[in-house]
Amino acid sequence: MTATHIKTHTVEINAKDHPFGGDHITLADIRRLGNIPAHHKVYHEIPEPKDDPEVKEGDRIKLGKLEKFYSVAPEITGGSSAVRTQRIDREIATVAEKYPGTTAVDAPDGSAGLIIPALPIPTGFSSPTARILVRIPAMYPAERLDLFWLTPTLARDNGAGLPNVMAHGVPLAGEHWTQISWHDNSPHDSDRITVLGFVRGIGQWFAGQVGA
């Protein structure tokens, strides 16, 4: 008797890859792999301009080269906006799940200021967390994310100034910020980049300043 070969696929859930054995995936499978709470809705990302369909109980989704799914909590601080694209809204939701209290403020130019109130940073600074702002361009992901802003009160324990400061007192989202010159220099792939990945890169920037 010949053993049946089960193909392993890679599925992306909330911007993280997971191996999955089988040609079809269910809502229960997605929740299990992504550790998604039962009260969160799950959506299947499909190419725009069509809306992403919600994954329901009983659905069996045939897996292709790389299927993408994401979850949305019933209420996300900052909410959605008619100005933002569906992708920007769901990426804001993903960041808000990772960093509670995250809010998004829309700007007249169509961009969104994503404010993360407590990004964990390593020892060596005046606070264990940093309050930062990331600007999401209206044309994201075609236009890449760049720079970040933080509250002026953050300093280093040794009294040295923060590196890469471009400007002080920059007005964004109704507040004044210190602008930091930091760039994600990885190849720009609009299908793979995420706001969450960019925020994690900022955390790595802070780690690189310890002892510098």
Question: How many Cβ atoms are within 10 Å of 70's Cβ, its own excluded?
Answer: 24
Q: Is 86 helix (H, G, I), strand (E, B) or coil?
A: helix
Using pLDDT thresholds of 50, 70 and 90, give the confidence band for residue 28: very high
148-174 confidence digits (pLDDT tens): 999 999 999 888 888 899 999 999 988
Q: Where does 101-147 show beta strands of DSSP type E?
A: 103-106, 112-120, 129-136
Using pLDDT thresholds of 50, 70 and 90, give the confidence band for residue 211: low
Single-letter amino acid, residue 25:
I
> What is the β-pairing status of strands 67-72 and 61-62?
unpaired
- 34-48, 91-105, 185-199: the lowest-pLDDT one: 34-48
Query: What integer is the mean pLDDT of 179-189?
Result: 90
- 6-15, 41-50, 79-88: the lowest-pLDDT one: 79-88
40: phi then psi, degrees, rounded to nearest 5: -90, 140
Please report the pLDDT score of residue 2 as a whole number: 54
pTM above 0.95, yes or no: no
Q: Is the pLDDT of residue 146 over 70?
A: yes
Give just the sign of the alpha carbon dihedral 82, 188, 98, 45.
positive
Q: What percent of the chain has pLDDT over 70?
A: 91
In order, the DSSP letters of 98-113 are HSTT-EEEE-TTS-EE
Please report the pLDDT score of residue 77 as a whole number: 43
Q: Is the pLDDT of residue 74 over 90?
A: no
Please report the pLDDT score of residue 108 as a whole number: 81
Please report the pLDDT score of residue 198 as a whole number: 96
